[in-house]
Structures are given as structure tokens and as C-alpha cells.
């Protein structure tokens, strides 16, 4: 016997008397064509006053229109008792605060220990049959608010809000340096780096991407805290955009400050040909320990970087070593509930590692 999630209901008002049921489903209940096709294939997918009918029938004032979706599970995801923080849950949504270091969904080489494994286990323990449907993603090392839909209808509606730009997604980041303007837009198309496909770059031929930023706190000239609002959702968008304006994220091992590269280039130019690759590899090693900085700041023949650059690189490396991941946190997410249409706002305070970094920056700026 088919099992269904609780129905989503709509009562026909007087102004819609005589409308086609199909029109009610598409124009008033906002059922997508794809979901409508799925609902028509099940016995209780679409009912009018409790009876299964064709969507070509006309409705009357006071009629009760209901849609029911079949229960689903993520059979390809292994349930694991992994703790995670819940901000909100009802029959349609689960909103969590994802921890840094946690992958959202199993991928090649990472089939376990993900947020999905933990959520699927949590639902199973509650006796709920729900498929894991994240509406959006956060990078593994990015913490913060994430919304998961518990049925296709909810996923469709929140996704449409994101496409329309009505979802308010805000992030807090700590970056090297201070942006030239206290607030502004970074409008730079993003696409894969042809030389390193796992990275992204700003390129004229990329996909349109827009990030709005506002400087919230400045720590001398060394660093600043910025709030960012995404108007598009490209992979690594904030990390790439902030790097493009000379303010890469503190702790980011992939999109590092350009001074690392300049120091490595200086070493490579002064090294024997066989040593160039090793010098380049040092430039992308994560960690930023003092010995690495000294190796980067001084070329093979003893010629140092300009004093100002060497001192700045040491400062940058010290900050990068103060946090084990990019200092980026999804602090706020606001959207309309897909069924009740109520405005929902969720916020997650800074996690411990970023709060400690903030205190370090404040202390150093005094």
C-alpha cells in the first residue's frame, strides 16, 4: 500500500468558482509541471473533496483541493549517528547549523560521515520516511545555516525563491586587508580555472555572479570583518570574489593571498631548474607555519622579498595559521515557508573558531 506525506490543502474562494482544477493546482498552489505529472500517477496524489478526479474538472466555491506526495527515503545514504544542530523543523523543512569540516552530501570518496548520513539516521530514529533534499549547499569548511526540504513540493518552492533572488542569504567572513570601499558590489563572472578545474576564477566568459558586501569591523590594515549577501550561488563565489578585490579569506588554503605566490615565484626564479617545482609546492602548502614563511620570503640565493612584503607575508601567514579553515560562516537565511507562506528567518552565531579569530584580531589591532 502506498504511503503518503500529510496532504497540502487549498480551499477554493468565491472568486475562483468555476475554475479548472488544473488552474488551481498551477496558479494557486504553485505545483510545478514535473510534480503535477508525478501526482497524477498516484491514487491519492490529487483529490477534490476527498475524491480522485481528473484535473480538467471545474471547481466550486468551498471545494477542498489536496495534493499528497508519496513517502520516500534515501536508500543510497547510510544512516549514521552523527550529531548536528537543528534550528527548526516541521513536516516540510529541516533547518540546521552545519559545522565546519562537515560535507553536506556523500560524494565520490566521501560516502560516510556527512550531514546527510546524520540526518537520515535522525529521521529513521523518529520513524519518518524522508528523502534527504538539501535546497542549497555549503562548502565543506564553511559553517552556518542550511535548509533541507522534506518533500518535492518544499524543495521546488524554496528553489524557486532562490532563483528569483528573494531568499536573503548572508555570510560573515574575516578577510585579509580592508576593501577599498566600506560597501559595494562585486560583479564578476565566475567559471572553472582551465588549468585547475577544481578551482574557480573570475573570467569574462564565466557565469554572471554578484556579491554584495559591507565592512563591519576593521582591524588596522591587516584584516576586516565583512558581511556578504549572495545574489547568485556559484561554487566558491565569496572566496573567489573577495580574492579578486585583494581581500582573500583568512585561513583559505585554496584561494590564498597573492603574496604567497609572489614569494614562491621569487624563489623559483633564483633556484636551479630542478628545484622550481618544490618551491611552487611550498607556496600552496596549507598551514602558514613560521618556517614556511621564512622559506617563502627568502629566495634561494639569499635575496629577500622587499621588507614591507616580507613583513606583510609573515602577518598574513600568522593569521592563516590562527584558524584551520576559511573564515566563512552562513550567518543568516530568510525565506517564505513553502506551505504557510510565513516569512522565516534563521540565524546562527559565530562558531568558536571564528569567535576566537575575531578576538585575536581585536587584540592585535589595539
- 297 burial (CB, 10 Å; 0-12 / 13-18 / 19+) is buried
Active-site residue, from 17, 30, 90, 139: 139
252 is catalytic: no
Nearest to 151 by CA among 94, 75, 73, 92: 92
Distance CA 333, CA 203 (A): 28
- Reduced to 3 states (helix: H, G, I; strand: E, B; else coil), residue 173 is strand
H or E element, residue 65: strand 64-67
Nearest to 95 by CA among 347, 341, 352: 347
Distance CA 53, CA 40 (A): 9
Is the distance from CB of 361 to CB of 222 less than 8 angstroms?
yes
C-alpha distances out from residue 271 to 153, 274, 286, 292, Å: 60, 8, 22, 16
Is the distance from CB of 174 to CB of 152 less than 8 angstroms?
no
- 126 burial (CB, 10 Å; 0-12 / 13-18 / 19+) is exposed
Nearest to 320 by CA among 247, 253, 225: 253
- Reduced to 3 states (helix: H, G, I; strand: E, B; else coil), residue 215 is strand
291 CB-near residues (< 8 Å, 6+ apart): none
Distance CA 323, CA 281 (A): 21
Q: Which residues are catalytic?
A: 139
Amino acid at each position: 500500500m502506498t504511503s503518503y506525506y500529510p496532504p497540502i490543502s487549498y480551499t477554493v474562494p468565491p472568486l475562483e468558482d468555476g475554475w479548472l482544477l488544473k488552474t488551481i493546482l498551477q496558479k494557486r498552489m504553485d505545483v510545478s509541471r514535473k510534480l503535477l505529472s508525478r501526482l497524477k500517477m498516484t491514487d491519492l496524489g490529487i483529490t477534490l473533496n476527498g475524491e480522485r478526479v481528473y484535473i480538467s474538472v471545474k471547481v466550486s466555491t468551498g471545494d477542498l483541493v489536496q495534493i499528497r506526495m508519496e513517502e520516500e527515503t534515501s536508500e543510497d545514504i547510510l544512516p549514521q549517528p552523527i550529531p548536528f544542530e537543528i534550528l527548526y523543523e516541521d513536516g516540510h523543512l529541516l533547518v540546521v547549523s552545519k559545522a565546519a569540516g562537515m560535507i553536506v552530501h556523500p560524494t565520490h570518496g566521501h560516502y560516510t560521515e556527512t550531514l546527510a548520513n546524520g540526518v537520515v539516521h535522525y529521521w529513521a530514529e523518529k520513524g519518518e520516511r524522508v528523502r534527504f533534499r538539501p535546497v542549497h549547499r555549503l562548502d565543506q569548511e564553511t559553517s552556518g545555516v542550511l535548509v533541507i526540504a522534506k518533500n518535492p513540493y518544499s524543495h521546488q518552492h524554496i528553489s524557486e525563491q532562490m532563483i528569483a533572488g528573494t531568499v536573503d542569504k548572508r555570510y560573515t567572513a574575516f578577510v585579509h586587508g580592508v576593501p577599498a570601499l566600506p560597501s559595494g558590489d562585486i560583479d564578476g563572472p565566475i567559471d572553472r580555472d582551465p588549468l585547475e578545474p577544481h578551482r574557480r576564477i573570475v573570467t569574462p566568459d564565466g557565469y554572471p555572479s554578484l556579491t554584495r558586501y559591507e565592512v563591519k569591523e576593521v582591524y588596522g590594515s591587516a584584516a576586516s570583518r565583512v558581511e556578504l549577501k549572495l545574489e547568485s550561488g556559484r561554487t566558491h563565489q565569496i572566496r573567489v570574489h573577495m580574492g579578486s578585490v585583494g581581500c582573500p579569506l583568512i585561513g583559505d588554503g585554496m584561494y590564498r593571498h597573492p603574496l604567497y605566490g609572489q614569494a614562491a615565484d621569487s624563489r623559483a626564479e633564483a633556484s636551479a631548474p630542478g628545484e622550481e617545482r618544490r618551491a611552487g609546492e611550498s607556496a600552496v602548502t596549507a598551514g602558514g607555519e613560521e618556517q614556511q614563511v621564512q622559506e617563502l620570503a627568502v629566495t634561494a640565493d639569499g635575496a629577500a622579498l622587499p621588507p614591507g612584503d616580507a613583513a606583510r607575508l609573515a602577518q598574513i601567514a600568522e593569521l592563516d595559521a590562527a584558524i584551520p579553515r576559511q573564515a566563512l560562516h552562513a550567518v543568516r537565511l530568510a525565506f517564505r515557508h513553502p506551505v504557510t507562506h510565513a516569512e522565516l528567518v534563521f540565524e546562527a552565531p559565530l562558531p568558536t573558531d571564528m569567535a576566537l579569530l575575531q578576538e585575536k584580531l581585536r587584540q592585535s589591532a589595539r
